[in-house]
Structure 1
């Protein structure tokens, strides 16, 4: 498929995608693999994936084509992945702030957004890992796959081609920040539900009310509303 490069294996599709940006007008070049050995997650976390079971996908987007803030573009990538999986599986799919994708209370997708300057141009490199066919997650109780959560199986190559086509089509025309934030909050995991949160080793009940354009999550506790950035508080689920 045009613009999509398959690799039998690689250490990181984000690194590989950057290496293919050889021309100044390069845009929407994507790399995917079903065997990524050193995937990265947010804030230095690792993304582990079983070979031949899951999709590691990265797409490069020229920053000049993105007219929204970095925070809102990060949200938009999660909105797109959620929409793709919801349409594909006909299941309820949610976004766990800031950009994990959840099917029936299990994380099936993680997203890493990086910005790199290559050949004089700034690019967003969007790294997306989707657990598609994996069934065993050892002791990671919050992890799942499309298969475990929906009982549906997919051909990985066809899955990746359809996903790439969907991403390119929707990245060519990015909606307004207001629309992105609205769509994000409409599908926010555990929104308006009593949940357990952990901060500095202390657990307490709270209710997620919304995410804002500055990248913060608004949580209502007994003592009032508080705002947090990523990693400042943990949702237990």
Structure 2
């Protein structure tokens, strides 16, 4: 049964979806809009979209249905979105740790996964913002859209329907922990390439080697291999 709800406008689909849980009949309840006015990104970052050009999409799933860790759930979700866009666009698509999606060098998707209690159940709320038709990103030099990166004008509603179906199918069949990690690292943005990183102390060159199952990123810096959690280091690109 499809539980895919549409709302013309809202502040944040990750917040609004909670009241739609009462009406859902399946294990995959989703809410989307093409006009989100106050979306959130990871760790308090904002995620705003231009009306009728981009997608704000949230999916609520009962966390008890998943026997993997929060970090692996995050990685697997990012891999699903990466695979979906790679198939849709036939373009190079990568995952910028921990869960931004990069198409041809530009950030096109932001993902925010939160755990919330509602209706006496614990849910993963998967928030996905996809830039689809937007053409100008004057204030964010490393952002792009599916249109700017591929030249394809996707139909917003068709893409949303396909995204929902893909998430339901893939989240209904969780692979092993080892396969999740292998696939995530296979498509890791800037892996094994010299990149510039910024910490609270300095800026230096380094090479991303791998992400681990605890949610840390391992980077070979000038003084050796080190691990970092999100926000402890910034990749400049």
Instruction: Give TM-score, length-normalised by structure 2.
Output: 0.97
What are the superposed Cα offsets for residues 176-214 of structure 1, whole Å, 9 maximum, x if unpaired?
Answer: 111111100000000000000001152100000000001
Supply the distance in 1 between the matched residues of 2:121 and 2:27 (Cα, whole angstroms): 11
- Paired residues in the alignment total 237
Would the aligned equivalents of 2:30 and 2:58 in 1 still touch at CA under 8 Å? yes
Would the aligned equivalents of 2:111 and 2:126 in 1 still touch at CA under 8 Å? yes
More displaced stretch, 114-123 vs 85-94: 114-123
How far does residue 222 in structure 1 lie from its aligned partner after superposition? Answer: 2.2
Supply the distance in 2 between the matched residues of 1:93 and 1:78 (Cα, whole angstroms): 11
Q: Please give the residue correspondences for 1:167-186 in structure 2 after superposition, counting only pairs within 5 Å.
A: 167-186=167-186
The runs of at least 4 consecutive aligned structure 1 residues that moved more than 2 Å come to 23-26
Q: Please give the residue correspondences for 1:1-237 in structure 2 after superposition, counting only pairs within 5 Å.
A: 2-22=2-22, 26-200=26-200, 202-237=202-237
Supply the distance in 1 between the matched residues of 2:219 and 2:130 (Cα, whole angstroms): 28
How far does residue 139 in structure 1 lie from its aligned partner after superposition? Answer: 2.0
Supply the distance in 2 between the matched residues of 1:25 and 1:227 (Cα, whole angstroms): 42
Would the aligned equivalents of 2:74 and 2:99 in 1 still touch at CA under 8 Å? yes
Would the aligned equivalents of 1:218 and 1:225 in 2 still touch at CA under 8 Å? yes
> Could you say what the CA RMSD is over the residues aligned between the two structures, in angstroms?
1.3
How far does residue 26 in structure 1 lie from its aligned partner after superposition? Answer: 4.9
How far does residue 25 in structure 1 lie from its aligned partner after superposition? Answer: 7.0
More displaced stretch, 130-139 vs 24-33: 24-33
Would the aligned equivalents of 1:23 and 1:119 in 2 still touch at CA under 8 Å? no
Q: Which segments of 5 or more consecutive residues in structure 1 lack a partner in the other structure?
A: none
Would the aligned equivalents of 2:3 and 2:24 in 1 still touch at CA under 8 Å? no
